[in-house]
Structure 1
């Protein structure tokens, strides 16, 4: 169980760095979604199912839908 926690925390750090360095907004939203889902799993492992459910529903669900809908209303500039 300890190894799984360490792997998930390392994955969270990698996701956070990847979101910050990604130039494409849609890719950043997808990576942020993976971050939120991983955080929900960590909350579940910490025996906080109410917070895990909230993180999964709001962090990964609603926020991702809002970000994608806003990005779809913008124009992409090809370089």
Structure 2
């Protein structure tokens, strides 16, 4: 269980770095959604299911849909 937590935290750090480095906004949103889902799993492993459900619903669900809607109305690539 401890090894799983370490792997997930390393994945979170890599996702955060990848979101900051990417120039394609849609890719950044997808990576951010993966970050939110892994964060929800971590909350679940920390025995906080209410926070995990909120993170999955708001962080990975609603926020991702809103970001994609905004990107569809603007340019996809950042300068």
TM-score category (smaller protein):
over 0.9
User: Is 1:70 the counterpart of 2:60 in the alignment?
Assistant: no
Instruction: Please give the per-residue CA displacement for 1:2-51, whole angstroms capped at 9, x wherever unaligned.
Output: 00000000000000000000000000000000000000000000000000
RMSD over aligned CA atoms reads 1.3
If asked which structure has higher relative contact order (CA below 8 Å, sep 6+), I would say 2
Measure, in 2, the Cα distance between the counterparts of 1:64 and 1:2: 29
Q: Give the unaligned 5+ runs of structure 2.
A: none
Alpha-carbon shift at residue 76 of structure 1 (Å): 4.2
TM-score by length of 1: 0.95
